[in-house]
Amino acid sequence: MFDATVSEGVLRLHRPETRWLSTGWNGGRARATAGYNVTVPEGFDRTDLGAYRDERLARAGFGGGDATGRDDAPDRDAPPTLFTGVSMDHARGARLGPVVAYATVGLSNPAMLPMEPAGAGGSRGSADATDRSERPGTVNLIVGATRRLAPGAAANLVAVAAEAKAATLLATAGVPGTTSDAVVVADDPTGEPAEFSGSATAVGAAARACVRDAVRASLRSRYPDGDVPGPAGDAEHGVVTDERAEVFDP
């Protein structure tokens, strides 16, 4: 499985010769011995994220030697790295069968999708809801499997993890996610092959359970009194998508 270490506000998930697929900053596919989740300070406004990542990994004692190749990203020597305003004190992991998941949950910037939109037009909320650098929330997930996932199975596991995250947060906090959530999926290129990763497969079912339980544990740690920002709370940032789309037959 993956070896998790936290140092200086950085969570490191280490496993030799691992393949990664990230939806976060500088995302895409990579081969690396580790992936990272990094806590940024309040008011964080750095835009040179590559340099900032290197500084933080070095400070944590994790610098160098993690990446073994990357095909489709400009920073070819970089391991997958996520950023969040949530302290790594609230990071939680869950393991079942061939899957492990790690989550950090912050809900100060919820993204709501009402089923009966008011028709206000677009996404309303904070002045610049897409400015990720100023948002202290974020639900970050790193999901690792000891199976060798087919390319489609790896991509689908991102969707499975996101679905499980949304279902868990809707049930526990009344929101499906935030404006800056990210998912990283990892698999073992030497493991037992898995062509599919849907919810009925061993990998998909385990991922759903791990994501649910890791998210719930991190949520309880971050909001021990149950006072979570949400549709009825005082969320500092967030959006509500109120526009109706045109619906038509193909």
Condensed to tens digits (0 to 9), the pLDDT of residues 18-57 reads 999 999 999 999 999 999 999 999 899 999 999 999 999 9
Under the banding of pLDDT at 50, 70 and 90, the label for residue 232 is: very low
Let me know: does 182 contact 22? Beta carbons within 8 Å. yes
- pLDDT at 69 (0 to 100): 45
Condensed to tens digits (0 to 9), the pLDDT of residues 150-176 reads 999 999 999 999 999 999 999 999 999
Under the banding of pLDDT at 50, 70 and 90, the label for residue 242 is: confident
* Strand duo 99-106 + 138-145: pairing: antiparallel
pTM of the model: 0.89
- For residue 104, the SS3 value is strand
Under the banding of pLDDT at 50, 70 and 90, the label for residue 127 is: very low
Distances (CA, A) of 167 to 49, 160, 176: 31, 11, 7
